[in-house]
Each structure stands twice: as structure tokens, then as C-alpha cells.
Amino acid sequence: MLSHDQSTTIAANQQCDTYAWFSQRAWVEVDLEALSHNVRQLRKFLSPHTQLMAVVKADAYGHGSVTVAQTALQSGASWLGVATVPEGIQLREAGIKAPILILGATYTSEQIHAIAHWKLQPTLCSPKQALIFSTTLEAIKYNTPIAVHVKLDTGMSRLGTDWQQATEFVQLVERLPHLKIASIYSHLATADSPDPTVMQQQHQRFKSAIARIKEMGIEPPCLHLANSAGTLADKALHYDMVRPGLAIYGLSPAPHLQNVIDLKPVLQVRARVTQVKTIAEATGVSYGHHFITPGEMRIAVVGIGYADGVPRNLSNKIQVLIRGKRVRQIGTITMDQMMLDVSIIPDLQEGEVVTLLGQEGSEKITVDDWAGELNTISWEILCGFKHRLPRLGVI
């Protein structure tokens, strides 16, 4: 007979096992060695003086910002890029001390206070924003100048001051108290296109603006222009720093840039089979009965759906991997579940693992496969995986 302590221990273990089962009905695997490999490959591709900023906004494109940031910094990155102040604070709270550039626009006094407190580095997009920063820092008697990054619009038509007004903008920021220019930068709109015409035009505008700034006696301490595509497309775009995002996660930003350096996909998505059953011929599957069985069929229910980030528009269009074999998804993908035709695996059991994105043996399903089916981009697929899917670091 078990003692009270033994019974309590077994009950606790059963609860842990139950929790582990439910928490891992589906999950995202993040291959940290692949991530490290990609950063090292990018680092080798750059000249020694060019720094690498790992862009970890949007929770590191769905991979988990803190773990990705730590791994990227250990592997050769020296800067981090985020979109928002809270993203930067999250990294600081994790103990990360590397310089962090906020790529988005910030205006409010609360944001400015947080930037100063957490030693983040903002992007300045306009004279108005620069004045707000300076007067706010003056009001709170913040005596240490904060590092700011001047953004020029060279053709993206998004954030930044028009490149033709660059000199006036930079001169204003230079005169304002409490601000210190850390870099001048711009962003490329078409670097992933096989036609380099627009990219080259933006580059020429950037060079022209910088030349005029230097003629005024201002020497920018750092210049940066290239995203992942720009980094891979043309070494003339590297300047003092590059800002790769997609490439550090192991994906090429365009087919024609696929083989420039060796990249390894970092993210894999897996889920468990929750039920297996045989259904009769002419049976409708899932909402709307958009799939009708052509004959008797063995099907599996899998615990992942569009609330986890699997787009509903992929219904009846994708395959997944089980035991290294491709099987097709059938019926409408629902909020929490999807169905598979597993007739080729008649002995499949509940609890077996299904690979939605990733590799098993010689077979693989890629993010680009999904993006192609949806006529979208791989960035959107990666950023779509929700936080109820645990991120499991795999080394």
C-alpha cells in the first residue's frame, strides 16, 4: 500500500503529465543552432567593419524575441531592432544590454520617458517629432543626451523625412538639446525584386543626401540601409551596419537570392493526433462539408487550427508529415483542429506527432509552400503563430 507522501507524489506527477499533454497539443520548435548558423553566415558575408543588427520585432517574427535576441548576440550580432517601446523593454527586462533601435515612430511623453529610462534608441522621422523629444526631455530635466537615429524616406513612402530635406532635418537635430545622432538610415522598398532599378535609385538618393550632409560639416557616425534582401543583393548597400530580419530565421527574401549564403530554417510547427477513426464513403468532413469522402477513409483529428495561426484559407490545399510520409489535410480547418486523410498509415495512433512545417527524413514542408498557396509572403506566415503555441528551443 502506498504511503500518503507516495500517493501525493504520484498525483502531482499525473497532474504534470496531464499539463504537459495539454500544453503540447501543438507547439513551435525553434532551432537555436540553425539560428546561430544563420547569424554566423551573415556575419561572414559582411566586411569586418560592418555591424549586424538582428531584427527581432513582432516577437522575433514569431520565434520568441528574448531567446532569439540572446542567441543572435552570442553568434555575432551587435545590435537589436524592434518596432515598439514595449518590445524593447521586454528585452531590457530579460537583462539584454546591447543597443536596441526602435524602428517605429514614437511621440508620446510616456514613450519618451520609457525610452530614456530603459536606454532605448528611437527613430526620428520628422522635425516635429525631434522637437517633441527635445522639449519632453528638457521638461523632465534629463541631462544625458539620448542616442537617436535619423530616418530618411528615399522611396518607401513610409516613415522618414524626404531625402531632399535631409540636410535641414539633420541640422535641426544637431542643434536640439538632449539629442545625439547615432545614425542616419533609410529603408529599401524593392530590394527583393530581380529588377534592381528602384533599389539603385533609392541608394543613389541616400548617397546624395549623405554627401550634402557631409558638405555641411556633419559626419554621420553610422549609416545603414540594407534589410535582408539588400544585404544579400548588393554589398555596396552594407555601409556601417545591416538590418536582416527574415534571413536570420533561415528564409530567403526572394527566390533569386536563395543561394547567396547557406541559410537553415529555424522554425518548425508540430501538433499531436487527438483522434483516429474510419468514416464511410460519401461522408462530409468539417464545417460546410467542403470535402466529401470518395470512399471509406481513415482520418485523423489534429489539435491545431486557425486560432493557433494555421490560415483557414489553406483548407484542402496543404499536406503535412507523419512518420516521414506526406498526408493531405481535408475539410475546413477549424479554430482549434484540423482533419487529415491518413489512410496510408492504417496503424496511426492518438498522440503521434504531425509536422505541419518542418522536415522529417527527406520530406519537408516549408513556410514558402504555405505562402505560395495563399499568394502572400513568408513574413506573414511566421508572424501568424499565436502565443498559445509554446515556443520550444531546440539546440
Q: Give the pLDDT confidence of 233-279 residue by residue, as tens digits.
A: 999 999 999 999 999 999 999 999 999 999 999 999 999 999 999 99
Annotated binding site for substrate: 158, 335
Asked which of 215, 249, 283 is the last residue of a domain, the reply is 249
Q: List, for residues 338-347, the tens digit of each pLDDT value.
A: 999 999 999 9
pLDDT confidence bin for 394, thresholds 50/70/90: confident
In a domain, 88, yes or no: yes
- Model confidence pLDDT, tens digit, residues 29-45: 999 999 999 999 999 99
Beta carbons within 8 Å of 52's beta carbon, 6+ residues apart: 39, 42, 43, 46, 76, 77, 78, 79, 241, 242, 244
Domain assignment present for 279: yes
Assess whether 155 and 219 both reside in one domain.
yes
Over 70: is that where the pLDDT of 281 sits? yes
**Mind listing the pLDDT tens digit for each residue in 348-367?**
999 999 999 999 999 999 99
Bridge partners of 121?
A: 101
| CA atoms of 331 and 164, how far apart (whole Å) | 54
CATH number of the CATH domain containing 67: 3.20.20.10
| Whether the Cβ atoms of residue 356 and residue 304 lie closer than 8 Å to each other | yes
Q: What is the mean pLDDT of residues 165-193?
A: 97
Within a domain: residue 255? no
Say which CATH number the domain at 381 has.
2.40.37.10
Mean confidence (pLDDT) of the chain: 93
Query: Of residues 57, 61, 151, 249, which has the active-site annotation?
Result: 57
Sequence-distant (6+) residues with CB within 8 A of 382 are 61, 62, 63, 249, 251, 267, 367
Amino acid at 390: P
Beta strand pairing call for 26-31 and 267-279: antiparallel
Are residues 209 and 122 part of one domain?
A: yes
Q: What is the average pLDDT across 144-162?
A: 97
User: Average pLDDT of 198-202?
Assistant: 98
Same domain, 332 and 242: no
Using the 3D structure, point to which of 194, 221, 249 is the last residue of a domain: 249
Residues 154 and 58 in one domain: yes
- Whether 31 is covered by a domain: the verdict is no
Contact between 284 and 270 under an 8 Å Cβ cutoff? The reply is: no
- Maximum CA extent, the chain: 89
From 249, 283, 305, give the residue that closes a domain: 249
> Can you give the pLDDT at residue 3?
37
Structural domains of the chain, count: 2
Q: How far is 202 from 183, CA to CA, in rounded Å?
A: 18
Give the long-range contacts of residues 22-27, CB within 8 A, separation 24 or more: 23/390, 24/272, 24/390, 25/271, 25/272, 25/274, 25/303, 25/304, 26/269, 26/270, 26/271, 26/272, 26/302, 26/303, 26/304, 26/308, 26/389, 27/269, 27/270, 27/271, 27/389, 27/390, 27/391, 27/392
Residues 295 and 228 occupy one common structural domain: no
Residues 243 and 216 placed together within one structural domain of the fold? yes
pLDDT score at 393: 83
Task: Tell me the percentage of the chain whose pLDDT exceeds 70.
Answer: 94
Which residues contact residue 173 at a Cβ distance below 8 angstroms, ignoring those fewer than 6 apart? Answer: 124, 130, 148, 150, 179, 181
Kindly tell me if the per-residue pLDDT of 208 is higher than 70: yes
Cα–Cα distance measured from residue 50 to residue 241, given in angstroms and rounded to the nearest whole number? 5
Q: Which of 142, 287, 364, 386 is catalytic?
A: 287
Unique residue bearing C-alpha cell 516549408: 366
Statement to judge: residues 149 and 288 lie in one domain: no
Q: Facing residues of 327 across strands? A: 320
Domain of residue 80 covers: 49-249
Residue 101 has pLDDT above 70, yes or no: yes
What is residue 279's predicted lDDT score, i.e. its pLDDT? 98
Same domain, 112 and 215: yes
| pTM summary value | 0.91
Q: Is residue 6 part of a domain?
A: no
| Residues 168 and 288 reside in one and the same domain | no
Q: Is residue 108, in this structure, part of any structural domain at all?
A: yes
At residue 196, does pLDDT exceed 80?
yes
Any catalytic annotation for residue 57? yes
Domain assignment present for residue 299? The answer is: yes
C-alpha gyration radius of the chain: 25
pLDDT of 316 strictly over 70 = yes
Of the pLDDT bands very low, low, confident and very high (cuts 50, 70, 90), residue 17 is very low
167 half-sphere exposure, CB direction, 13 A CA radius: 12
Q: Is 249 a catalytic residue?
A: no
pLDDT of residue 23: 52
Same domain, 244 and 282: no
Nearest to 359 by CA among 289, 268, 291: 268
The residue behind cell 536582416 is: 244
Residue 373 lies in a domain: yes
Nearest to 303 by CA among 29, 64, 21: 21
Residues 126, 214 share a domain:
yes
- Same domain, yes or no: 368 and 332: yes
Residue 335 has pLDDT above 80, yes or no: yes
Would you list which residues are annotated within the binding site? 158, 335
